[in-house]
């Protein structure tokens, strides 16, 4: 199924583009010219999350932001499993389709492992990396694993599917970013029905189920990408991926790393601190 939703051009002033992957029809935007920046979102968001950053950088870079299958304006294929491994494969197909070479990858939340998984298999084509509030190693903290177990239970799966719980409570709730009503509705309307939210419902369980993939990334990323110029932009008030532990792990994995702390930003850094992120990327990759 496809989503019957057209974003407001005043909020999302981009041309929609489409790629027929091996698993389904993928939506993405491709704005500007110059070195390619590939933006990878997490859950429960879509490429709308990067709108301010794309607008701020498209005069200097080629800005590509993708919606994974099951998210945003992309297709919801019945036969797709919506696992991190499957999203990684489809993203790799898009990178190859666009013939990206010398590209800079930005990943936040699940966009980190999805993007790094695709990039590590194409390391010779990667110019640099931007990581924000993400991990590429097994997720061990008890709070994260408890969240995974609770959200994967039958009652909570029902609430995710029927009440759009992940969007309404974790993105648009009290601890989420400050958004206008129109902006909030763009996140709601990208996940409008129970059937449309099937991919969203899979993600919490992946915190535990994707462990083998994350174990492999913990080895591959330092080995294959560890010498790439890297920027970490971190929301220091994030309760999902704690800054101290995560940044130290990233420091140990990359030899050419700059860290920019975002003191007031929480998990959804692209909403909380887009101007700071835009400036940090432009300064790191002139």
Catalytic residues: 109, 238, 267
Torsion of CA 269, 45, 138, 144, to 10 degrees: 80
Question: Which helix H or strand E contains 232, and what residues bound it?
Answer: strand 230-235
Taking the C-alpha atoms of residue 153 and residue 158, their distance in angstroms, rounded to an integer, is 9
Taking the C-alpha atoms of residue 44 and residue 108, their distance in angstroms, rounded to an integer, is 12
Question: Which helix H or strand E contains 127, and what residues bound it?
Answer: strand 126-132
How many other C-beta atoms lie within 10 A of the C-beta of residue 276?
Answer: 17
The dihedral region occupied by 161, where left means phi > 0, alpha psi between -120 and 50, and beta the remainder, is: alpha
Contact by Cβ (8 Å): 110, 45 = no
How many other C-beta atoms lie within 10 A of the C-beta of residue 64?
Answer: 24
Taking the C-alpha atoms of residue 31 and residue 72, their distance in angstroms, rounded to an integer, is 17
What separation in angstroms does the CA of 142 have from each of 105, 226, 250? Answer: 29, 28, 20
Question: Which helix H or strand E contains 235, and what residues bound it?
Answer: strand 230-235
Task: Give the Cα-Cα-Cα angle 164, 240, 114 (nearest 5 degrees).
Answer: 75
Give the position of tokens 């709070």: 143
Contact by Cβ (8 Å): 52, 13 = no
Taking the C-alpha atoms of residue 49 and residue 272, their distance in angstroms, rounded to an integer, is 10
């Amino acid at each position: 199924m496809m989503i019957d939703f057209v974003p407001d051009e005043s909020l999302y002033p981009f041309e929609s583009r489409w790629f027929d992957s091996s698993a389904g029809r993928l939506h993405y935007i491709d704005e500007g010219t110059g070195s390619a920046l590939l933006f990878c979102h997490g859950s429960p968001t879509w490429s709308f999350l990067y709108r301010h950053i794309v607008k701020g950088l498209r005069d200097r870079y080629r800005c590509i932001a993708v919606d994974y299958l099951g998210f945003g304006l992309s297709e919801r294929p019945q036969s797709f499993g919506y696992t991190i491994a499957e999203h990684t494969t489809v993203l790799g197909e898009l990178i190859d389709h666009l013939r990206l070479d010398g590209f800079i990858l930005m990943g936040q939340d699940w966009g980190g492992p999805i993007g790094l998984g695709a990039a590590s298999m194409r390391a010779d084509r990667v110019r640099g990396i931007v990581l924000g509030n993400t991990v590429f190693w097994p997720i061990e903290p008890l709070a994260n694993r408890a969240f995974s177990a609770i959200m994967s239970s039958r009652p909570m799966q029902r609430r995710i599917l029927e009440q759009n719980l992940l969007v309404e409570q974790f993105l648009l709730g009290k601890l989420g970013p400050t958004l206008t009503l129109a902006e909030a509705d763009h996140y709601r309307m990208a996940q409008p029905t129970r059937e449309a939210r099937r991919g969203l419902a899979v993600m919490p369980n992946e915190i535990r189920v994707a462990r083998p993939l994350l174990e492999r990334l913990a080895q591959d990323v330092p080995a294959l990408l560890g010498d790439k110029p890297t920027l970490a932009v971190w929301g220091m008030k994030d309760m999902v991926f704690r800054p101290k532990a995560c940044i130290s792990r990233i420091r140990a994995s990359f030899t050419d790393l700059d860290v920019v702390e975002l003191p007031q930003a929480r998990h959804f850094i692209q909403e909380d601190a887009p101007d700071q992120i835009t400036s940090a990327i432009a300064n790191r990759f002139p």
